[in-house]
Amino acid sequence: MAKTIQEINEKIKKGKAVVVTAEEIIGIVEQKGAAQAAKEVDVVTTGTFGPMCSSGAYLNFGHTRPKLKAGGGTATLNNVPAYTGWAAVDLYLGATAMPDDDPRNKIHPGEFAYGGGHVINDLVAGKDVRLQVEAYGTDCYPRKHLDTWINIKDLNEAVLFNSRNAYQNYNVAVNLSDKTIYTYLGTLKPKLGNANYCSAGQLSPLLNDPYYKTLGIGTRIWLGGGIGYIVWQGTQHNPHAPRGKSGVPKRGAGTLALIGDLKQMGPDWLKGVSLIGYGPSMAVGIGIPIPILNEEIVKYTAVKDEDIVAAVVDYSDAYPNAKADVLAEVNYAQLKSGSIELKGKQVPTSGLSSYKKALQIAEDLKTQIKQGEFLLTEKVADLPAGESAPRFKPLKERPVKEGK
Amino acid sequence: MSAKKIVLTFPKDKIDKPIVYKLIKEFDLSFNILKASITPDQEGHMVLELDGDKAEIDKAIKHLKDEGVNVEFLSKEIKVNWDKCTQCGACVSICPTEALYIKDRQTMEVAFDPEKCIACELCIRPCPPRAIEVHF
């Protein structure tokens, strides 16, 4: 007995929708079977919260008197450079941007105490942020310097726009070398000293809809504590990754490009993070509702940590040198147990993605839907899937010879 | 009875001398070695938690100093700023004493047990939101 999103929305409006989290649906399907669960449950909510480097925000800070054109000049927010190559007073600030005078890794491993993600967090927290612009001046935009405090409430627009978020599965990073390494998956101790993973597993949005059957372009989502939308597939979207049981990818696969009004979001859900030796980034909170349209969809959402397999990759050699070597495959139940066995050794595990926060997001979205505050949307176009989808490929380098 | 955490630094020429065993033999103390590292031809470091009679602890510390060992009390305190913590758990596999640990494997809640902390500070910089603080 299939349902439509329209029917589910009618139930939501009447406060009668049955909404459960992607964790709760596991037990329901186990106890009652998929057919009954599909009848009873209307929506399953997912969640994820972790560092997502391909995130950022664009801002329109309003015209000055006389007018100024930031494009072609430089702009910083709290000393962190923002991209100016747009019209006069639009800026884009990326999560991994950092001050020009940050020493980077000159003293390895670098601290990266403050970057784009931290600026976005300060903006969202309602703090004043210092904007400095150096422009070259034109007849229509004569002003050349600007040094002012700005506040998110005064901006014309502040929009979170992330080109790649919510990775459908991810590598588990280890270090086979004999010295500590510092990666975007955290500090990795030598000789398999630890193993770091970064996925909400059974709560993760794209792992609950592995073939993107319900979610797609136009889907309304929970983003950074406010409302957002899926605008496109994320960069590096790769539905061709090898898949296991129930079609769940065993490697990084699908990704999402997301957008939402930064002014509606909260500082607890867009957190600046400092990845030692790597750089600044931003932890982003995302929740996506999955409408339970039929038995097939409910089966996908019942995926559990034991069924989700990830690849263990050596970040001292295989990853930086782009070798395809996979040391082992482990599942998220093993990863979340605290240690995994690799090469006969018990290796302690750590998450970079917060399962606790992911759970809070899934619960919050559940509450909003139950209270009729959050309606589901039909997607307006599919995310690429199947054989015709583009493949994620490395750069075909064509070295430039001097003098040519 | 009293307990104290101390950091011992052994100069190069003392590394091969039996010193610490006397804490048990002569001062009737029990100790827990929280951390120890000795590199040949370099200094040795040891973090001990001493348990025993307070007067005996003081005598034992004097003995260590007389032997040329540098003694410092572990007065640093590590605190987690829970407002900043994002509950990711990156610290858990870094912490050598399991002072930072997962309290509940269902919710993956991160917790901190100050009793187990040896203030090694290994967790400070790997924490992505820099939520772990050193207090003096």
Q: Which of residues 65-124 of B touch A (CB under 8 A)?
A: 86-94, 102, 105, 107-110
Closest CA to A316 of A198, A199, A182: A182
Q: Buried b vs exposed e over A377-397: b needs ≥16 C-beta within 10 Å?
A: bebeeebbbeeebeeeeeeee
Is A350 within 8 Å of B89 when comparing Cβ atoms? yes
Q: What is the pLDDT of residue B33?
A: 87
Q: What is the pLDDT of residue A381?
A: 98
The distance of B104 to chain A (nearest Cα, Å) reads 10
Q: Go through chain A and tell me how many residues it has.
A: 404
Other beta carbons within 10 Å of A58: 18
How would you list the strands of the sheet with A145-150, edge to edge? A80-82, A74-77, A129-134, A145-150
Q: Could you tell me the domains of chain B?
A: 2-73 (3.30.70.260), 76-136 (3.30.70.20)
In a domain, A339, yes or no: no
Average pLDDT over residues B75-82: 90
The closest CB to that of B108, out of A272, A276, A351, belongs to A351
In a domain, A107, yes or no: yes
Tell me how far apart the alpha carbons of residues A376 and A222 are, in angstroms, rounded to a whole number: 11
This model of the complex carries an ipTM of 0.94
A299 confidence band (pLDDT: 50, 70, 90): very high
Chain A residues within 8 A of B108 when measuring between CB atoms? 336, 351, 354-356
In a domain, A126, yes or no: yes
- Give B66-78 pLDDT, tens digit per residue: 988 988 887 788 9
Q: Which residues constitute the domain of residue A76?
A: 56-160
Helices and strands (H and E) in chain A: how many = 7, 24
The closest CB to that of A271, out of B89, B91, B129, belongs to B129
Is A354 within 8 Å of B86 when comparing Cβ atoms? yes
pLDDT at A298 over 90: yes
Is A359 within 8 Å of B107 when comparing Cβ atoms? yes
Tell me how far apart the alpha carbons of residues B113 and B124 are, in angstroms, rounded to a whole number: 15
Average pLDDT over residues B13-23: 81
The distance of A322 to chain B (nearest Cα, Å) reads 24
Interface test with B, best of A48, A108, A187 (most B CBs within 10 A): A187
pLDDT at A353 over 80: yes
- Give A328-339 pLDDT, tens digit per residue: 999 999 999 999
pTM of the model: 0.90
The distance of A44 to chain B (nearest Cα, Å) reads 18
Tell me how far apart the alpha carbons of residues A394 and A114 are, in angstroms, rounded to a whole number: 31
Residue showing tokens 């004569």: A142
**A198 among known catalytic residues:** no
Tell me how far apart the alpha carbons of residues A191 and A59 are, in angstroms, rounded to a whole number: 45
Q: What is the pLDDT of residue A351?
A: 97
Chain A residues within 8 A of B126 when measuring between CB atoms? 186-187, 276
B49 confidence band (pLDDT: 50, 70, 90): confident
Q: What is the pLDDT of residue B17?
A: 79
pLDDT at B38 over 80: no
Q: What is the pLDDT of residue A261?
A: 98
Q: Which of residues 191-230 of A touch B (CB under 8 A)?
A: 193-196
In a domain, A39, yes or no: no
- Give A72-119 pLDDT, tens digit per residue: 999 999 999 999 999 999 999 999 999 999 999 999 999 999 999 999
Tokens standing for residue A127: 């703090």
Is A186 within 8 Å of B90 when comparing Cβ atoms? yes
Closest CA to A354 of A27, A10, A49, A115: A49
Average pLDDT over residues A34-48: 98
Q: Buried b vs exposed e over B80-116: b needs ≥16 C-beta within 10 Å?
A: beeeebbbbbbbbbbbeeebbbbeeeeebbbebeeee
Average pLDDT over residues B94-119: 95
Tell me how far apart the alpha carbons of residues A116 and A282 are, in angstroms, rounded to a whole number: 8
The closest CB to that of B87, out of A186, A195, A357, belongs to A357
- Give A156-199 pLDDT, tens digit per residue: 999 999 999 999 999 999 999 999 999 999 999 999 999 999 99
Q: What is the pLDDT of residue B47?
A: 86
In a domain, A100, yes or no: yes
Tell me how far apart the alpha carbons of residues A195 and A348 are, in angstroms, rounded to a whole number: 6
The distance of B99 to chain A (nearest Cα, Å) reads 14
DSSP-assigned letter for residue A68? B
Average pLDDT over residues B43-61: 87
Q: What is the pLDDT of residue B34?
A: 82
Chain A residues within 8 A of B92 when measuring between CB atoms? 338, 348, 350
* Catalytic option among A140, A322, A324, A395: A140
Interface test with A, best of B84, B93, B102, B132 (most A CBs within 10 A): B93
Interface test with A, best of B125, B127, B132, B133 (most A CBs within 10 A): B125
Tell me how far apart the alpha carbons of residues B38 and B46 are, in angstroms, rounded to a whole number: 8
pLDDT at A1 over 80: no
Tell me how far apart the alpha carbons of residues A286 and A73 are, in angstroms, rounded to a whole number: 34
pLDDT at A12 over 70: yes
β-pair type (A309-314, A172-174): parallel
In a domain, A93, yes or no: yes
Return the H-helix or E-strand segment holding B61: helix B54-66
Least confident of A17-31, A302-316, B19-33: B19-33
- Give A278-295 pLDDT, tens digit per residue: 999 999 999 999 999 999
Amino acid code (one letter) for A202: Q
When divided into structural domains, chain A yields a total of: 1
- Give A134-148 pLDDT, tens digit per residue: 999 999 999 999 999
* Proportion of chain A above pLDDT 90, given as a percent: 98
Chain A residues within 8 A of B124 when measuring between CB atoms? none
Is B130 within 8 Å of A113 when comparing Cβ atoms? yes
Tell me if the bond preceding A66 is cis, omega within 30° of 0.
Answer: yes
Q: How far is CA A102 from CA A80, A107, A114, A142, B113, in A?
A: 9, 11, 9, 31, 34
Is B94 within 8 Å of A350 when comparing Cβ atoms? yes
Q: What is the pLDDT of residue A403?
A: 75
In a domain, A395, yes or no: no
SS3 A54: coil
In a domain, A246, yes or no: no
CA-based nearest residue in chain B for residue A352: B88
Is B109 within 8 Å of A356 when comparing Cβ atoms? yes
Is B88 within 8 Å of A352 when comparing Cβ atoms? yes
- Give A386-404 pLDDT, tens digit per residue: 999 999 999 999 999 987 6
